[in-house]
Amino acid sequence: MRVADLLTEHSLHLRLETPTGPDRLSREIVRCAPTEHLDPTPFLDANVLLLTSGIGMNFSEESIWDGYVERLTRVPVAALAFAVGAAHSSLPKGLITACTAHDLPLLEVPTTVPLLKIDQHVEGMLQAERIALLDRGWLLADECARLASQGAEISTLLAAMYAALELPIAVYDAFDSLIAQYPETVTWRTGAARASQPDTVTVPLPMGLSNSCQLAVRLYGSSAEVEALLAPVTSILALQLNRSVVVDASSHQDMLRFVNRCVAWSESTRSDVANAFHELGLSRRAETTLLVADMSGEHAAAAWKLRVALHDTFHDVRVAELDEQLIALAQFPRETFSDVSARLLGIEPVLPLVLRGPARTIDELRIALVHALNLIRHVSAPVLAPVLGLSAVVAAAAGRGAREAAERFLAPLLDHDEHRATELLPTLRIWLRNDAQPSRTCEELYIHRNSLSYRLRRIEELLGISLDTLDGRATCLMALRLVEIEPY
């Protein structure tokens, strides 16, 4: 309810006695405050309608009236309704002058209208507005609940809320990272800078977590109406966000079992891995997309974004966090894989993330998982993993006696280095790491090119292979990878 609404109510017969503009008359009234105190400001809230008869205000000095009005504008009150008849036959001129000077709307209440009638009218109107606002809030909640039941994304719910509020809206996680927003063109601050974001109301979402997400609305006015309108729908939004947590929590142990069986090549058979996959409730006939992300340190803030994005882009998702890494399996994408990969790889530009997909068989998925777990250690940004990686092949071979064979193969170099204080094994490792480039290898080892040639010829003699052939180099590379592989 606004001050202007009082003037359009003919039953009250109120008359505006100050040259007040439309902006000032559009100020909202929160309640009525009947009082006869000369200084009622300690008992007033902002934007109240002050009702008084001026009893005890039997003075004519303009300075006193000016001081009285100035105190009211510091609260500030929405307007002053002054009743004539009981103590004053007409509005005091000093009061009119002071209200005009301080731009405080002054309403004259005729003798035929008791102040109680104005109080009752205002309270009735405010109650009607509260009921109407509550109805709007529940209608919005019902619409969002309908969308949620149809599997709508978080962004779709925010779009529905934006249509009702006509205000930009966003969702933050517990780390002040932006999860979703609508519309996309609005800029929102994140992290420590979010605290200084102006004209924003924040509503915690009832998620039952120690660190809940928050709903943020960019304001262009009072926050009271927005908060009341959002109260019912926050539960729907919280449930949608919690959906990923609940689903992920229910499959967490099954995911850990599957990951452990995948990486344990020597202990777990193909049947063991297949059974663990079956326990996840995923389809063996469907293609499976794999995602591994580093959640350590500051990257933990992206966990919510990843979970929400995964559940928004796939129908079936299983997620677990192991050793500060988020591991996810997903099936039945809602979009093409190119669209899915663009969305997931674009979540955080500096997030170490490996996306691999889609795998068609459990064997392929197992190798892809081992490769991704190795690759995540060496990336500093989102990457799309190749279909096949050497680390996965090495891991697969390690459990079938290849590691022992590799140790025996490289034993002559180890023995030579120990007994003669040479560095043949490190030289071989650095040479292969530098793609067999002599100049780069010599630069890293701080040796002459002739020294490198001598060492390589000596390695060939001890191992009984030729390093000039692709087969010889590949054999050495595989052997080094096998002996250096770390069990998960």
CATH number for the domain spanning 338: value is 3.30.70
- The verdict on residue 308 lying in a domain is yes
Domain residue limits at 199: 134-239
Q: Identify whether residues 271 and 357 lie together within a single domain.
A: yes
CATH number for the domain spanning 72: value is 3.40.1390.20
Residue 144 CA to residue 227 CA, distance in Å, equals 17
Q: Identify whether residues 341 and 369 lie together within a single domain.
A: yes
Residue 278 CA to residue 409 CA, distance in Å, equals 39
Residue 55 CA to residue 127 CA, distance in Å, equals 30
Measured from the Cβ of residue 135, the count of other Cβ atoms closer than 10 Å reads: 10
Contact 106, 6 (CB under 8 A): no
The separation between CA 377 and the C-alpha centre of its own chain, rounded to angstroms, equals: 25
- Strands 325-333, 314-322: pairing is antiparallel
- The verdict on residue 122 lying in a domain is no
Q: Identify whether residues 20 and 102 lie together within a single domain.
A: yes
Please state whether the predicted TM-score (pTM) of the whole model is above 0.85: no
CA distances from 435 to 374, 446, 451, 477 (A): 20, 17, 18, 10
Token output for 380:
């500093």
- Strands 79-83, 48-52: pairing is parallel
Q: Identify whether residues 74 and 175 lie together within a single domain.
A: no
Q: Identify whether residues 378 and 260 lie together within a single domain.
A: yes
**What is the structure's pLDDT at 395?**
62
**What is the structure's pLDDT at 304?**
74
**Dihedral of the alpha carbons of 100, 104, 110, 114, in degrees to the nearest 10:** -160
Q: Identify whether residues 98 and 184 lie together within a single domain.
A: no
**What is the structure's pLDDT at 487?**
43
- The verdict on residue 324 lying in a domain is yes
Q: Amino acid identity, residue 263?
A: V
Residue 95 CA to residue 54 CA, distance in Å, equals 10
**331 membership: H or E segment, kind and range:** strand 325-333
Residue 52 CA to residue 402 CA, distance in Å, equals 95
Residue 24 CA to residue 188 CA, distance in Å, equals 31
Contact residues for 19 (Cβ-Cβ < 8 A; gap 6+): 100
Q: Identify whether residues 201 and 318 lie together within a single domain.
A: no
**3 state SS of 295:** coil
Name the DSSP letter for residue 360. Answer: -
Residue 103 CA to residue 25 CA, distance in Å, equals 10
Residue 291 CA to residue 344 CA, distance in Å, equals 9
Token output for 71:
């105190």
**How many structural domains is the chain composed of?**
4
Q: Identify whether residues 428 and 305 lie together within a single domain.
A: no
Q: Identify whether residues 171 and 227 lie together within a single domain.
A: yes
Q: Identify whether residues 268 and 339 lie together within a single domain.
A: yes
**What is the structure's pLDDT at 293?**
93
**What is the structure's pLDDT at 488?**
39
Q: Identify whether residues 218 and 268 lie together within a single domain.
A: no
Q: How much helix, strand and coil, in percent to the nearest 5, is found in the chain?
A: 50, 15, 30
**What is the structure's pLDDT at 133?**
83
CA distances from 418 to 404, 411, 484 (A): 20, 11, 18
Answer left, alpha or beta for residue 218, where phi above 0 means left and psi between -120 and 50 means alpha. beta
Domain boundary among 206, 239, 272: 239
Sheet holding 382-384, edge to edge: 314-322, 325-333, 288-294, 353-359, 382-384
Q: Amino acid identity, residue 397?
A: A
Cβ-count burial of 98 within 10 angstroms (0-12 exposed, 13-18 middle, 19+ buried)? buried
- The verdict on residue 245 lying in a domain is no
Q: Identify whether residues 184 and 258 lie together within a single domain.
A: no
Q: Encode the chain (488 residues) as per-residue pLDDT tens digits.
A: 899 999 999 999 999 999 989 889 988 898 999 999 888 999 899 999 999 999 888 888 889 999 999 999 999 999 999 999 878 989 999 999 999 999 999 999 999 999 999 999 999 999 998 888 888 888 888 888 888 777 777 888 889 999 888 889 988 876 677 778 888 888 888 777 777 777 888 888 887 655 677 888 888 766 777 888 888 888 888 777 766 555 555 677 888 899 999 888 777 888 999 999 999 999 999 999 999 999 887 777 677 778 888 888 898 889 888 888 899 999 999 989 999 999 899 888 889 999 998 999 998 898 889 888 888 988 889 999 887 667 666 666 665 567 788 888 999 999 999 999 899 999 999 999 999 999 999 999 999 999 999 999 999 999 999 999 988 898 898 888 878 755 43
